[in-house]
Amino acid sequence: MEWTRIYEGKAKILYETGESESFVQSFKDDATAFNALKKGTILHKGPINCQFSSTLFPMLENKGIPTHFLGRVAPNAMKIRRLKMVPLEVVVRNRVAGSLVKRLGLNEGTELLHPVLEWYYKRDDLGDPIVNRDHIDVLRLASHAVLAEVERLARKTNDVLVPFFAGKDILLVDMKLEFGVGESGKVCLGDEISADTCRFWDSKTLDKMDKDRFRQDLGQVEEHYLELFRRVVGHDPEF
């Protein structure tokens, strides 16, 4: 298939398909951390994350959460709806990890009384800073109606995924979600859901099964990505 590259980010490449309502999103094996200060490669990460997301998006659709997913077109690529992306990352936290340890002074792994939702401004040059609703309003990043729907869908996504992963002996510690608005005005979940964008821990051993293994030089990164995939999807990925 002939696709035209229109954008390349740290983890994915976006292609024009010649169709007015869709793009192709290709997943790379490249790995970055700390705002791309640390760089590397995780073997087969592209197809693993693509197929992992391709499993979760249809399940979320069936639970009433609209997504950009239209179908997988290659081991490491999916067709997606064209969305005008909201320039915010939405982080939903169920346990204390990452920056929350430093900001709140709580021990890593502490279970929160209820899921905590945070907003981050998507600006690489600023280090994707945390923002609140007033910041979002004065920067005119999204309307109140869109923000309310993004928050509703983010919390619902968490409500669906926490018990789903628990059934696989996996704790969903936290996750980063991105949303966009389609031509009809409907807010949809975009980007990906994977070990790159979520923290997953084995519920019995508390072993980390996500990109923190790369961030923290814990080793066996590929092995844990594969174990997570097999546990959730039920078979080996296609390479």
Q: Is the CB of residue 91 less than 8 Å from the CB of residue 175?
A: yes
* Residue range 71-101, pLDDT digits in tens: 999 999 999 999 999 999 999 999 999 999 9
Give the residue carrying structure tokens 């021990």: 107
- pTM exceeding 0.85: yes
Residue 206 pLDDT: 97
Under DSSP, is residue 212 helix (H, G, I), strand (E, B) or coil?
helix
For the chain, domain boundaries = 4-81, 84-220
* Residue range 7-66, pLDDT digits in tens: 999 999 999 988 889 999 999 999 999 888 899 999 999 999 999 999 999 999 999 999
Work out whether the CA dihedral 178, 181, 187, 191 comes out positive or negative: negative
Compute the distance between CA of residue 161 and CA of residue 167 in angstroms, rounded to an integer.
Answer: 10
Residue 35 pLDDT: 81
Q: How confident is the model at residue 2 (pLDDT cuts 50, 70, 90)?
A: confident
CB burial of residue 235 (10 Å; 0-12, 13-18, 19+): exposed
- 84-220 has the same fold as 4-81: no
Q: Which helix (H) or strand (E) holds 228?
A: helix 221-233
The DSSP result for 159-177, as a single string, is HHHHHHHHTTTEEEEEEEE
Q: How confident is the model at residue 133 (pLDDT cuts 50, 70, 90)?
A: very high
Give the residue carrying structure tokens 């059934």: 167
Q: Which CATH superfamily is domain 84-220 in?
A: ATP-grasp fold, B domain (3.30.470.20)
**How open is the CA angle 201-205-209, to the nearest 5 degrees?**
30
Q: CATH for 4-81?
A: 3.30.200.20
Q: Is the CB of residue 161 less than 8 Å from the CB of residue 155?
A: no
Q: Give the CA count within 13 Å in the CB-facing half-sphere of 6.
A: 13
Q: How confident is the model at residue 1 (pLDDT cuts 50, 70, 90)?
A: low
